[in-house]
Protein backbone atom coordinates (compact mmCIF):
# COMPACT_ATOMS: atom_id res chain seq x y z
CA UNK A 1 0.00 0.00 0.00
CA UNK A 2 1.42 3.41 -0.92
CA UNK A 3 1.53 6.20 1.62
CA UNK A 4 -0.96 8.26 -0.37
CA UNK A 5 -3.45 5.38 -0.42
CA UNK A 6 -2.97 4.91 3.31
CA UNK A 7 -3.55 8.60 4.02
CA UNK A 8 -6.52 8.58 1.64
CA UNK A 9 -8.09 5.66 3.48
CA UNK A 10 -7.89 7.76 6.64
CA UNK A 11 -9.68 10.60 4.81
CA UNK A 12 -6.60 12.80 4.67
CA UNK A 13 -5.55 14.75 1.60
CA UNK A 14 -1.95 13.69 0.83
CA UNK A 15 -1.26 16.86 -1.20
CA UNK A 16 -2.00 19.08 1.79
CA UNK A 17 0.45 17.12 3.89
CA UNK A 18 3.31 17.93 1.57
CA UNK A 19 2.93 21.69 1.47
CA UNK A 20 4.56 22.68 4.76
CA UNK A 21 8.12 23.58 5.71
CA UNK A 22 8.80 20.96 8.43
CA UNK A 23 9.82 17.51 7.21
CA UNK A 24 8.39 14.41 8.91
CA UNK A 25 10.53 11.29 8.54
CA UNK A 26 9.71 7.65 9.07
CA UNK A 27 12.09 5.91 11.50
CA UNK A 28 11.77 2.80 9.28
CA UNK A 29 14.09 4.13 6.58
CA UNK A 30 14.54 7.83 7.35
CA UNK A 31 12.53 8.79 4.27
CA UNK A 32 10.53 11.98 4.28
CA UNK A 33 6.83 11.12 4.49
CA UNK A 34 5.34 14.60 4.79
CA UNK A 35 6.05 18.29 5.21
CA UNK A 36 3.86 20.03 7.72
CA UNK A 37 3.43 23.58 8.89
CA UNK A 38 4.15 24.55 12.50
CA UNK A 39 1.66 26.69 14.33
CA UNK A 40 2.64 30.28 15.07
CA UNK A 41 1.91 32.20 18.25
CA UNK A 42 -0.95 33.82 16.39
CA UNK A 43 -2.56 30.65 15.07
CA UNK A 44 -2.21 29.06 18.50
CA UNK A 45 -3.90 32.04 20.10
CA UNK A 46 -6.85 31.68 17.72
CA UNK A 47 -7.13 27.96 18.50
CA UNK A 48 -7.13 28.57 22.25
CA UNK A 49 -9.84 31.22 21.81
CA UNK A 50 -11.92 28.78 19.75
CA UNK A 51 -11.51 26.08 22.39
CA UNK A 52 -12.52 28.48 25.16
CA UNK A 53 -15.68 29.41 23.23
CA UNK A 54 -16.42 25.72 22.67
CA UNK A 55 -16.15 25.09 26.40
CA UNK A 56 -18.96 27.56 27.16
CA UNK A 57 -21.29 25.52 24.93
CA UNK A 58 -20.07 21.97 25.51
CA UNK A 59 -20.29 22.09 29.31
CA UNK A 60 -24.06 22.53 28.97
CA UNK A 61 -24.50 19.36 26.92
CA UNK A 62 -25.59 16.43 29.14
CA UNK A 63 -22.73 14.03 29.80
CA UNK A 64 -24.42 10.94 28.27
CA UNK A 65 -24.86 12.94 25.06
CA UNK A 66 -21.16 13.79 25.19
CA UNK A 67 -20.58 10.07 25.62
CA UNK A 68 -22.54 9.36 22.46
CA UNK A 69 -19.98 11.41 20.52
CA UNK A 70 -17.17 9.26 21.92
CA UNK A 71 -19.16 6.12 21.08
CA UNK A 72 -19.28 7.27 17.46
CA UNK A 73 -15.57 8.09 17.56
CA UNK A 74 -14.92 4.55 18.81
CA UNK A 75 -16.84 3.24 15.80
CA UNK A 76 -14.63 5.26 13.47
CA UNK A 77 -11.57 3.82 15.17
CA UNK A 78 -12.90 0.29 14.80
CA UNK A 79 -13.55 0.86 11.10
CA UNK A 80 -10.08 2.36 10.55
CA UNK A 81 -8.04 0.26 12.97
CA UNK A 82 -5.88 -1.37 10.32
CA UNK A 83 -5.03 1.87 8.50
CA UNK A 84 -4.40 3.90 11.64
CA UNK A 85 -2.29 1.11 13.14
CA UNK A 86 -0.20 1.07 9.98
CA UNK A 87 0.28 4.84 10.11
CA UNK A 88 1.37 4.55 13.76
CA UNK A 89 3.99 2.03 12.64
CA UNK A 90 5.13 4.22 9.79
CA UNK A 91 5.53 7.28 11.95
CA UNK A 92 6.80 5.82 15.22
CA UNK A 93 8.65 2.72 13.99
CA UNK A 94 6.91 0.28 16.37
CA UNK A 95 5.99 -3.10 14.90
CA UNK A 96 2.60 -3.45 13.23
CA UNK A 97 1.19 -5.64 16.03
CA UNK A 98 2.02 -2.86 18.46
CA UNK A 99 0.60 -0.21 16.14
CA UNK A 100 -2.66 -2.15 16.00
CA UNK A 101 -2.54 -2.72 19.75
CA UNK A 102 -2.25 0.98 20.27
CA UNK A 103 -5.41 1.62 18.25
CA UNK A 104 -7.15 -1.13 20.23
CA UNK A 105 -6.18 0.75 23.39
CA UNK A 106 -7.96 3.81 21.91
CA UNK A 107 -11.08 1.78 21.18
CA UNK A 108 -11.04 0.40 24.71
CA UNK A 109 -10.78 3.83 26.32
CA UNK A 110 -13.66 5.06 24.14
CA UNK A 111 -15.83 2.20 25.47
CA UNK A 112 -14.73 3.04 28.99
CA UNK A 113 -15.53 6.74 28.49
CA UNK A 114 -19.00 5.99 27.07
CA UNK A 115 -19.89 4.09 30.25
CA UNK A 116 -18.29 6.78 32.34
CA UNK A 117 -20.47 9.43 30.73
CA UNK A 118 -23.33 8.04 32.83
CA UNK A 119 -21.25 7.61 35.96
CA UNK A 120 -19.65 10.95 36.80
CA UNK A 121 -20.78 10.37 40.36
CA UNK A 122 -20.44 12.72 43.31
CA UNK A 123 -20.93 11.82 46.95
CA UNK A 124 -23.80 12.65 49.25
CA UNK A 125 -22.32 13.53 52.64
CA UNK A 126 -24.01 13.38 56.05
CA UNK A 127 -24.41 16.95 57.30
CA UNK A 128 -23.86 17.73 60.98
CA UNK A 129 -26.74 20.23 60.84
CA UNK A 130 -30.46 19.36 60.92
CA UNK A 131 -32.42 20.11 57.75
CA UNK A 132 -29.25 20.26 55.66
CA UNK A 133 -27.91 18.18 52.84
CA UNK A 134 -24.31 18.05 51.65
CA UNK A 135 -23.12 16.75 48.33
CA UNK A 136 -20.37 16.92 45.79
CA UNK A 137 -21.01 17.82 42.19
CA UNK A 138 -18.54 17.44 39.36
CA UNK A 139 -18.46 20.06 36.64
CA UNK A 140 -16.49 20.36 33.41
CA UNK A 141 -13.09 21.94 34.06
CA UNK A 142 -12.22 23.93 30.93
CA UNK A 143 -9.88 23.72 27.96
CA UNK A 144 -7.41 20.83 28.22
CA UNK A 145 -4.06 20.77 26.45
CA UNK A 146 -2.64 17.33 25.76
CA UNK A 147 1.06 17.15 24.95
CA UNK A 148 1.94 13.67 23.74
CA UNK A 149 5.13 11.83 22.85
CA UNK A 150 6.27 10.01 19.69
CA UNK A 151 6.32 6.54 21.26
CA UNK A 152 2.58 6.28 21.88
CA UNK A 153 1.48 8.83 19.32
CA UNK A 154 -2.25 8.16 19.59
CA UNK A 155 -3.17 5.97 22.59
CA UNK A 156 -1.98 8.30 25.34
CA UNK A 157 -3.77 11.22 23.70
CA UNK A 158 -6.94 9.15 23.48
CA UNK A 159 -6.86 8.33 27.21
CA UNK A 160 -6.95 12.06 27.85
CA UNK A 161 -9.21 13.00 24.97
CA UNK A 162 -12.02 10.47 25.46
CA UNK A 163 -12.26 11.31 29.15
CA UNK A 164 -11.97 15.07 28.66
CA UNK A 165 -14.75 15.09 26.06
CA UNK A 166 -17.23 13.16 28.22
CA UNK A 167 -16.22 15.35 31.16
CA UNK A 168 -17.20 18.41 29.10
CA UNK A 169 -13.80 19.80 28.09
CA UNK A 170 -12.56 20.74 24.60
CA UNK A 171 -9.02 19.54 23.85
CA UNK A 172 -6.01 21.10 22.17
CA UNK A 173 -3.56 18.41 21.15
CA UNK A 174 0.12 19.04 20.63
CA UNK A 175 1.51 15.75 19.31
CA UNK A 176 5.24 15.15 19.10
CA UNK A 177 6.58 17.01 16.08
CA UNK A 178 7.90 13.60 15.00
CA UNK A 179 4.37 12.15 14.69
CA UNK A 180 1.88 14.76 13.42
CA UNK A 181 0.29 12.56 10.73
CA UNK A 182 -1.34 10.17 13.18
CA UNK A 183 -2.71 13.23 14.99
CA UNK A 184 -4.22 14.60 11.79
CA UNK A 185 -5.74 11.20 11.09
CA UNK A 186 -7.35 11.03 14.55
CA UNK A 187 -8.63 14.57 14.11
CA UNK A 188 -10.28 13.60 10.80
CA UNK A 189 -11.86 10.49 12.34
CA UNK A 190 -13.17 12.53 15.23
CA UNK A 191 -14.62 15.10 12.82
CA UNK A 192 -16.44 12.29 11.03
CA UNK A 193 -17.90 11.14 14.35
CA UNK A 194 -18.98 14.72 15.09
CA UNK A 195 -20.65 14.98 11.67
CA UNK A 196 -22.55 11.79 12.41
CA UNK A 197 -23.77 13.12 15.76
CA UNK A 198 -25.36 16.00 13.86
CA UNK A 199 -26.31 19.42 15.16
CA UNK A 200 -23.97 22.36 15.38
CA UNK A 201 -21.19 21.03 17.57
CA UNK A 202 -18.56 23.40 18.92
CA UNK A 203 -14.92 22.84 17.92
CA UNK A 204 -13.98 20.24 20.50
CA UNK A 205 -10.68 19.03 19.12
CA UNK A 206 -7.81 20.92 17.51
CA UNK A 207 -4.30 19.81 16.66
CA UNK A 208 -1.46 22.19 17.37
CA UNK A 209 1.83 21.42 15.67
CA UNK A 210 5.14 22.72 16.91
CA UNK A 211 8.08 22.28 19.21
CA UNK A 212 9.01 23.44 22.66
CA UNK A 213 7.89 27.03 22.18
CA UNK A 214 4.30 25.98 21.43
CA UNK A 215 4.33 23.76 24.52
CA UNK A 216 5.49 26.68 26.62
CA UNK A 217 2.76 28.94 25.29
CA UNK A 218 0.15 26.33 26.21
CA UNK A 219 1.70 26.07 29.66
CA UNK A 220 1.58 29.82 30.17
CA UNK A 221 -1.93 30.52 28.88
CA UNK A 222 -4.50 31.03 31.65
CA UNK A 223 -7.31 29.99 29.27
CA UNK A 224 -5.90 26.45 29.38
CA UNK A 225 -7.28 24.86 32.56
CA UNK A 226 -5.34 21.59 32.42
CA UNK A 227 -2.02 20.70 30.84
CA UNK A 228 -1.59 16.95 30.53
CA UNK A 229 1.92 16.16 29.35
CA UNK A 230 3.70 12.91 28.55
CA UNK A 231 7.45 12.90 27.97
CA UNK A 232 10.81 13.03 29.66
CA UNK A 233 11.49 14.27 33.19
CA UNK A 234 13.46 17.09 31.55
CA UNK A 235 10.37 18.20 29.64
CA UNK A 236 8.33 18.01 32.85
CA UNK A 237 10.88 20.12 34.72
CA UNK A 238 10.61 22.80 32.03
CA UNK A 239 6.82 22.73 31.81
CA UNK A 240 5.50 22.12 35.32
CA UNK A 241 6.75 25.30 37.04
CA UNK A 242 5.18 27.42 34.30
CA UNK A 243 1.75 25.82 34.74
CA UNK A 244 2.08 25.78 38.53
CA UNK A 245 3.13 29.45 38.45
CA UNK A 246 -0.36 30.39 37.27
CA UNK A 247 -2.02 27.69 39.43
CA UNK A 248 -3.13 25.75 36.36
CA UNK A 249 -3.84 22.07 36.75
CA UNK A 250 -1.17 19.57 35.72
CA UNK A 251 -1.26 15.92 34.81
CA UNK A 252 2.26 14.64 34.30
CA UNK A 253 3.33 11.29 32.94
CA UNK A 254 7.09 11.57 32.79
CA UNK A 255 10.01 9.16 32.76
CA UNK A 256 10.09 5.66 34.14
CA UNK A 257 12.99 3.48 35.18
CA UNK A 258 11.02 0.32 35.61
CA UNK A 259 12.37 -2.63 37.51
CA UNK A 260 11.70 -6.33 37.88
CA UNK A 261 12.77 -8.38 40.87
CA UNK A 262 13.28 -12.06 40.08
CA UNK A 263 13.19 -14.19 43.22
CA UNK A 264 14.57 -17.75 43.62
CA UNK A 265 11.07 -19.29 43.41
CA UNK A 266 10.18 -17.46 40.17
CA UNK A 267 8.96 -19.29 37.09
CA UNK A 268 11.98 -18.43 34.93
CA UNK A 269 10.27 -19.44 31.70
CA UNK A 270 7.54 -16.90 32.36
CA UNK A 271 10.09 -14.32 33.49
CA UNK A 272 12.13 -14.63 30.27
CA UNK A 273 9.02 -14.07 28.13
CA UNK A 274 7.95 -11.10 30.23
CA UNK A 275 11.44 -9.60 30.08
CA UNK A 276 11.61 -9.95 26.31
CA UNK A 277 8.25 -8.24 25.77
CA UNK A 278 8.90 -5.43 28.22
CA UNK A 279 12.59 -4.72 27.57
CA UNK A 280 12.78 -5.35 23.83
CA UNK A 281 9.20 -4.55 22.76
CA UNK A 282 8.73 -1.13 21.14
CA UNK A 283 12.57 -1.07 20.98
CA UNK A 284 12.68 -0.14 24.67
CA UNK A 285 10.86 3.09 23.88
CA UNK A 286 7.87 2.75 26.19
CA UNK A 287 7.73 4.74 29.37
CA UNK A 288 6.85 1.39 30.94
CA UNK A 289 9.78 -0.48 29.31
CA UNK A 290 11.75 -2.74 31.61
CA UNK A 291 15.15 -1.16 32.29
CA UNK A 292 16.39 -2.78 35.51
CA UNK A 293 16.50 -6.44 36.39
CA UNK A 294 17.22 -7.24 40.03
CA UNK A 295 17.89 -10.96 40.24
CA UNK A 296 18.55 -13.24 43.18
CA UNK A 297 22.17 -14.43 43.13
CA UNK A 298 21.07 -18.07 43.03
CA UNK A 299 19.25 -17.72 39.68
CA UNK A 300 21.26 -14.93 38.11
CA UNK A 301 23.52 -17.02 35.96
CA UNK A 302 20.73 -19.24 34.63
CA UNK A 303 18.44 -16.32 33.88
CA UNK A 304 21.08 -14.15 32.23
CA UNK A 305 22.24 -17.11 30.15
CA UNK A 306 18.72 -17.75 28.87
CA UNK A 307 18.19 -14.07 28.24
CA UNK A 308 21.35 -13.74 26.19
CA UNK A 309 20.18 -16.70 24.11
CA UNK A 310 16.77 -15.12 23.59
CA UNK A 311 18.24 -11.67 22.81
CA UNK A 312 20.43 -13.23 20.12
CA UNK A 313 17.29 -14.56 18.41
CA UNK A 314 15.31 -11.31 18.41
CA UNK A 315 14.35 -10.51 14.83
CA UNK A 316 15.31 -6.88 14.27
CA UNK A 317 14.06 -5.29 11.07
CA UNK A 318 11.36 -3.34 9.34
CA UNK A 319 8.40 -3.07 11.71
CA UNK A 320 6.10 -3.69 8.75
CA UNK A 321 7.47 -7.23 8.26
CA UNK A 322 5.42 -9.93 9.96
CA UNK A 323 8.35 -11.72 11.61
CA UNK A 324 9.96 -8.64 13.16
CA UNK A 325 9.98 -8.32 16.94
CA UNK A 326 11.93 -5.10 17.19
CA UNK A 327 11.87 -2.12 14.84
CA UNK A 328 14.22 0.86 14.74
CA UNK A 329 14.97 3.56 17.27
CA UNK A 330 13.14 6.75 16.51
CA UNK A 331 16.14 8.71 15.19
CA UNK A 332 19.88 9.24 15.26
CA UNK A 333 19.74 11.20 18.51
CA UNK A 334 18.11 8.18 20.18
CA UNK A 335 20.86 5.92 18.83
CA UNK A 336 23.58 8.25 20.11
CA UNK A 337 21.95 8.50 23.54
CA UNK A 338 21.93 4.69 23.69
CA UNK A 339 25.60 4.41 22.71
CA UNK A 340 26.54 7.07 25.24
CA UNK A 341 24.67 5.23 28.03
CA UNK A 342 26.40 1.96 27.09
CA UNK A 343 29.82 3.67 27.12
CA UNK A 344 29.16 5.19 30.51
CA UNK A 345 27.81 1.94 31.94
CA UNK A 346 30.93 0.12 30.70
CA UNK A 347 33.04 2.81 32.37
CA UNK A 348 31.21 2.07 35.63
CA UNK A 349 32.14 -1.60 35.40
CA UNK A 350 29.22 -2.90 33.31
CA UNK A 351 29.65 -5.87 30.97
CA UNK A 352 27.81 -5.03 27.79
CA UNK A 353 26.42 -7.57 25.36
CA UNK A 354 24.60 -6.33 22.26
CA UNK A 355 23.78 -2.72 21.59
CA UNK A 356 25.52 -2.44 18.22
CA UNK A 357 23.99 -0.87 15.14
CA UNK A 358 22.33 -3.25 12.67
CA UNK A 359 21.13 -3.07 9.06
CA UNK A 360 23.12 0.10 8.36
CA UNK A 361 23.69 -0.95 4.76
CA UNK A 362 19.99 -1.59 4.05
CA UNK A 363 18.87 1.47 5.97
CA UNK A 364 21.68 4.07 6.04
CA UNK A 365 19.27 6.73 7.36
CA UNK A 366 17.57 4.60 10.00
CA UNK A 367 18.77 3.39 13.39
CA UNK A 368 18.35 -0.32 14.07
CA UNK A 369 20.22 -1.89 16.99
CA UNK A 370 20.69 -5.19 18.74
CA UNK A 371 19.02 -4.88 22.17
CA UNK A 372 21.58 -4.71 24.97
CA UNK A 373 22.04 -6.48 28.29
CA UNK A 374 24.45 -4.85 30.71
CA UNK A 375 25.55 -6.75 33.81
CA UNK A 376 26.30 -4.14 36.43
CA UNK A 377 28.38 -4.51 39.59
CA UNK A 378 25.92 -2.15 41.35
CA UNK A 379 23.18 0.40 40.61
CA UNK A 380 25.33 3.21 39.23
CA UNK A 381 24.48 6.76 38.18
CA UNK A 382 23.84 5.65 34.58
CA UNK A 383 21.40 2.96 35.73
CA UNK A 384 19.45 5.59 37.67
CA UNK A 385 18.77 7.55 34.47
CA UNK A 386 16.12 6.69 31.92
CA UNK A 387 17.66 6.10 28.49
CA UNK A 388 14.88 5.65 25.94
CA UNK A 389 16.41 2.60 24.26
CA UNK A 390 16.52 -1.20 24.61
CA UNK A 391 19.09 -1.41 27.40
CA UNK A 392 18.50 -3.83 30.26
CA UNK A 393 20.75 -3.39 33.31
CA UNK A 394 21.11 -6.51 35.44
CA UNK A 395 21.98 -6.43 39.14
CA UNK A 396 22.08 -9.14 41.79
CA UNK A 397 20.64 -9.35 45.31
CA UNK A 398 20.81 -11.77 48.24
CA UNK A 399 18.10 -10.52 50.58
CA UNK A 400 14.55 -9.57 49.47
CA UNK A 401 14.52 -6.39 51.59
CA UNK A 402 17.72 -5.32 49.87
CA UNK A 403 16.10 -5.99 46.48
CA UNK A 404 13.20 -3.67 47.32
CA UNK A 405 15.59 -0.97 48.56
CA UNK A 406 17.57 -1.20 45.34
CA UNK A 407 14.39 -1.21 43.32
CA UNK A 408 13.15 2.00 44.93
CA UNK A 409 16.51 3.80 44.88
CA UNK A 410 15.94 5.59 41.57
CA UNK A 411 14.33 9.00 41.03
CA UNK A 412 11.48 7.70 38.85
CA UNK A 413 8.42 5.73 40.03
CA UNK A 414 6.24 4.55 37.16
CA UNK A 415 5.98 0.78 36.86
CA UNK A 416 7.43 -2.27 38.59
CA UNK A 417 7.03 -5.98 39.11
CA UNK A 418 8.20 -9.01 41.02
CA UNK A 419 8.47 -12.57 39.74
CA UNK A 420 8.00 -14.91 42.65
CA UNK A 421 5.89 -17.84 43.75
CA UNK A 422 6.37 -16.94 47.40
CA UNK A 423 3.19 -15.25 48.62
CA UNK A 424 5.08 -13.36 51.34
CA UNK A 425 7.41 -11.76 48.83
CA UNK A 426 4.54 -10.95 46.45
CA UNK A 427 2.52 -9.26 49.19
CA UNK A 428 5.56 -7.45 50.60
CA UNK A 429 6.27 -6.03 47.16
CA UNK A 430 2.71 -4.66 46.93
CA UNK A 431 2.66 -3.35 50.50
CA UNK A 432 3.39 0.12 51.86
CA UNK A 433 6.99 -0.94 52.36
CA UNK A 434 7.22 -2.44 48.88
CA UNK A 435 7.44 -0.90 45.42
CA UNK A 436 7.07 2.88 45.46
CA UNK A 437 5.69 2.99 41.90
CA UNK A 438 2.25 3.90 40.56
CA UNK A 439 2.06 0.44 38.98
CA UNK A 440 3.21 -2.69 40.84
CA UNK A 441 2.65 -6.15 39.37
CA UNK A 442 3.19 -9.77 40.34
CA UNK A 443 4.32 -12.29 37.73
CA UNK A 444 3.69 -9.98 34.79
CA UNK A 445 6.04 -7.40 33.29
CA UNK A 446 5.90 -3.65 33.91
CA UNK A 447 4.56 -2.69 30.46
CA UNK A 448 1.37 -3.25 28.53
CA UNK A 449 -1.01 -1.97 31.21
CA UNK A 450 -4.76 -2.27 30.61
CA UNK A 451 -6.77 0.94 30.29
CA UNK A 452 -9.15 -0.01 33.14
CA UNK A 453 -6.59 0.88 35.80
CA UNK A 454 -5.21 4.32 36.62
CA UNK A 455 -1.97 4.79 34.70
CA UNK A 456 0.89 6.91 36.04
CA UNK A 457 3.57 7.08 38.67
CA UNK A 458 5.22 8.77 41.59
CA UNK A 459 8.40 10.79 42.25
CA UNK A 460 9.92 12.21 39.05
CA UNK A 461 7.28 10.41 36.99
CA UNK A 462 5.11 13.34 38.03
CA UNK A 463 2.23 11.93 40.06
CA UNK A 464 -0.48 12.09 37.36
CA UNK A 465 -3.00 9.34 36.66
CA UNK A 466 -4.62 8.75 33.29
CA UNK A 467 -7.05 6.26 31.71
CA UNK A 468 -9.21 4.10 33.99
CA UNK A 469 -10.36 3.98 37.61
CA UNK A 470 -11.20 7.51 38.81
CA UNK A 471 -8.63 9.30 36.62
CA UNK A 472 -11.57 11.22 35.08
CA UNK A 473 -11.60 13.51 38.10
CA UNK A 474 -8.55 15.34 36.73
CA UNK A 475 -10.72 16.68 33.91
CA UNK A 476 -13.47 18.04 36.17
CA UNK A 477 -13.79 20.49 39.00
CA UNK A 478 -15.41 19.44 42.23
CA UNK A 479 -17.93 21.61 44.02
CA UNK A 480 -19.02 20.90 47.60
CA UNK A 481 -22.65 21.95 48.04
CA UNK A 482 -24.58 22.45 51.27
CA UNK A 483 -28.34 22.96 50.99
CA UNK A 484 -30.42 24.19 53.92
CA UNK A 485 -34.04 23.09 53.62
CA UNK A 486 -34.95 24.06 57.20
CA UNK A 487 -36.25 27.38 58.57
CA UNK A 488 -33.25 27.77 60.89
CA UNK A 489 -29.69 28.84 60.26
CA UNK A 490 -27.59 26.56 62.47
CA UNK A 491 -23.88 27.19 62.14
CA UNK A 492 -21.30 24.50 61.86
CA UNK A 493 -18.84 23.86 64.67
CA UNK A 494 -21.64 24.79 67.15
CA UNK A 495 -20.96 28.52 66.78
CA UNK A 496 -23.53 31.03 67.99
CA UNK A 497 -23.13 34.31 66.22
CA UNK A 498 -25.06 37.48 67.09
CA UNK A 499 -28.76 36.98 67.99
CA UNK A 500 -28.55 33.22 67.24
C1 LIG B 1 3.80 5.15 27.30
O2 LIG B 1 4.81 4.54 26.99
O3 LIG B 1 3.78 6.40 27.33
O4 LIG B 1 1.44 0.15 29.64
C5 LIG B 1 2.49 4.50 27.58
C6 LIG B 1 1.89 0.30 28.50
C7 LIG B 1 1.00 0.99 27.49
C8 LIG B 1 1.13 2.46 27.59
C9 LIG B 1 2.52 3.00 27.58
N10 LIG B 1 -0.35 0.58 27.73
O11 LIG B 1 2.99 -0.08 28.16
Residues of the chain with pLDDT > 90: what percent?
97
The rounded Å distance from CA 299 to ligand 1 centre is 29
- The catalytically annotated residue of 144, 186, 287, 437 is 287
The residue ranking higher by pLDDT, 458 or 199, is: 458
Candidate from 100, 101, 414, 448 with most ligand 1 atoms within 8 A of CB, to mutate: 448
Give first-to-last CA distance, the chain, whole Å: 80
Determine the pLDDT at residue 45.
98
- Give the nearest ligand 1 atom to 449 CA: 4
- Give the nearest ligand 1 atom to 288 CA: 11
DSSP string, 217-277: HHHH-TTEEEEEEES-HHHHHHHHHHHHHTT-EEEEE----EEEEE-TTS-HHHHHHHHII
Q: Is 151 in the pocket of ligand 1 (CB under 6 A)?
A: yes
Q: Examine the pLDDT at 500 and tell me if it is beyond 60.
A: no
Q: Is 94 in the pocket of ligand 1 (CB under 6 A)?
A: no
The rounded Å distance from CA 200 to ligand 1 centre is 35
- The mean per-residue pLDDT over the stretch 403-432 comes to 98
Concerning whether 385 is annotated as a catalytic residue, the answer is: no
Nearest alpha carbon, ligand 1 atom 7 = 448
Q: How many CB atoms lie within 10 A of CB 167?
A: 27
pLDDT band per the 50, 70, 90 thresholds, residue 237: very high
pLDDT digits (tens, 9 = 90+) for 242-268: 999 999 999 999 999 999 999 999 999
Is 37 within 8 Å of 19 (Cβ atoms)? Answer: yes
Look at residues 266, 264, 292 and name the one whose alpha carbon lies nearest to residue 279. Answer: 292
The distance of Cα 481 from the centroid of its chain, to the nearest Å, equals 34
Beta strand 368-369 pairing with 357-358: antiparallel
- Give the nearest ligand 1 atom to 253 CA: 3
Report how far residue 206's alpha carbon sits from residue 310's, in angstroms, rounded to the nearest whole number: 44
Q: Is 388 in the pocket of ligand 1 (CB under 6 A)?
A: no
Determine the pLDDT at residue 302.
98
Determine the pLDDT at residue 198.
85
Residue 210 CB partners (closer than 8 Å, separation 6+): 38, 39, 44, 174, 177
Nearest alpha carbon, ligand 1 atom 6 = 448
Average pLDDT over the chain, rounded to an integer: 97
Convert 14-43 to b/e letters by CB count within 10 Å (16 or more is b).
Answer: eeebeeeeeebbbbbbeeebbebebbeeee
Concerning whether 287 is annotated as a catalytic residue, the answer is: yes
Report how far residue 14's alpha carbon sits from residue 167's, in angstroms, rounded to the nearest whole number: 34
The rounded Å distance from CA 18 to ligand 1 centre is 30
Q: Is 288 in the pocket of ligand 1 (CB under 6 A)?
A: yes
Candidate from 112, 277, 447 with most ligand 1 atoms within 8 A of CB, to mutate: 447
Report how far residue 345's alpha carbon sits from residue 327's, in angstroms, rounded to the nearest whole number: 24
- The mean per-residue pLDDT over the stretch 474-491 comes to 97
The rounded Å distance from CA 79 to ligand 1 centre is 23
Residues of the chain with pLDDT > 70: what percent?
100
Q: Is 92 in the pocket of ligand 1 (CB under 6 A)?
A: no
Report how far residue 91's alpha carbon sits from residue 24's, in angstroms, rounded to the nearest whole number: 8
- Give the nearest ligand 1 atom to 289 CA: 11
- The mean per-residue pLDDT over the stretch 424-440 comes to 98
Candidate from 287, 439, 441 with most ligand 1 atoms within 8 A of CB, to mutate: 287
Determine the pLDDT at residue 499.
65
pLDDT digits (tens, 9 = 90+) for 180-191: 999 999 999 999
φ, ψ for residue 156, nearest 5 deg: -65, -40
- ∠ Cα 27 456 61 (to 5°): 95
The rounded Å distance from CA 29 to ligand 1 centre is 24
Determine the pLDDT at residue 1.
82
Report how far residue 340's alpha carbon sits from residue 428's, in angstroms, rounded to the nearest whole number: 36
- The catalytically annotated residue of 76, 105, 253, 425 is 253
pLDDT digits (tens, 9 = 90+) for 368-393: 999 999 999 999 999 999 999 999 99
Q: How many CB atoms lie within 10 A of CB 269?
A: 9
pLDDT digits (tens, 9 = 90+) for 334-347: 999 999 999 999 99
Amino acid sequence: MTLDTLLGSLHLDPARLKAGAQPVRSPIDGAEVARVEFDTGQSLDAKIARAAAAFAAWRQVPAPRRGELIRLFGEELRAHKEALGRLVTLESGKILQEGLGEVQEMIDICDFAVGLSRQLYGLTIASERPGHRMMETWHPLGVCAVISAFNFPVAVWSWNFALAIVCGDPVLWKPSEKTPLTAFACQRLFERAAERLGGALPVLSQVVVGGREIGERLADDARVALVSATGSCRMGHALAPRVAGRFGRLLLELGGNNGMIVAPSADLELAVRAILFSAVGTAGQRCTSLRRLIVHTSVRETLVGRLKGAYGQVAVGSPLDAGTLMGPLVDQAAFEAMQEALRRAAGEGGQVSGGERLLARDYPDAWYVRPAIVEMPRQTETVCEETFAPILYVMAYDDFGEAIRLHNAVPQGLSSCVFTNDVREAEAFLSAEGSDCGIANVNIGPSGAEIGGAFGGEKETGGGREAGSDAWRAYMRRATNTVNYSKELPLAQGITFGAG
